[in-house]
Amino acid sequence: MSKDNKNLNIIIAILVVLALAVAGYFLYKKYQQKNLDPQAQTANIEEQKKGVFEKVITLVSVPEESPLFFTVSSSTLLKTQDFFKDTENGDILLVFETNKYAVLYRESSNQVINAGPIVDSTANANNKATTTNETVKSKK
């Protein structure tokens, strides 16, 4: 190989590396701009919710309403409740408020971990307290 060919190869290599660096810079800037834009973030979150919802409805029948979405971040705190006994961090809870129904979904394995009606334990406690007070009053 002649000295001119070596110099040409070095120049071509430098130009290729420079072109890749410039392209990477502009792609990074575009990525950063997309992720910092609040409207883009909102659209991305809504898109993720829609994707999760579409997966869930193929696995289980759900009420016809838009659910609230929650991501489990501390499964150990929830495992004291029967509904969450098999939950893991990252699971998604869909709550259908109007129909009082909940679905616990694990996206990593595309499976419903648990689903069922929401039971208002405070209402049950209030009913028990009312019943107890009535019973005590009637004994007098």
Residue 59 pLDDT? 96
Distance CA 76, CA 88 (A): 8
Return the residue matching tokens 């290729």.
Answer: 16
In the beta sheet, which residues pair with residue 115? Answer: 103
- Token duo for residue 47: 């898109």
Cα 140 from chain centre: 55
- Run of H or E residues at 103: strand 101-106
Nearest 5°: phi and psi at 6? -65, -45
Domain limits, the chain:
61-125
Distance CA 94, CA 71 (A): 9
Residue 6 pLDDT? 86
- Token duo for residue 15: 């130009």
Distance CA 17, CA 126 (A): 71
Whole-prediction pTM: 0.62
Give the mean pLDDT per block of 10 residues along the chain (140 residues).
Answer: 81 94 90 75 88 96 94 92 94 96 96 92 54 39
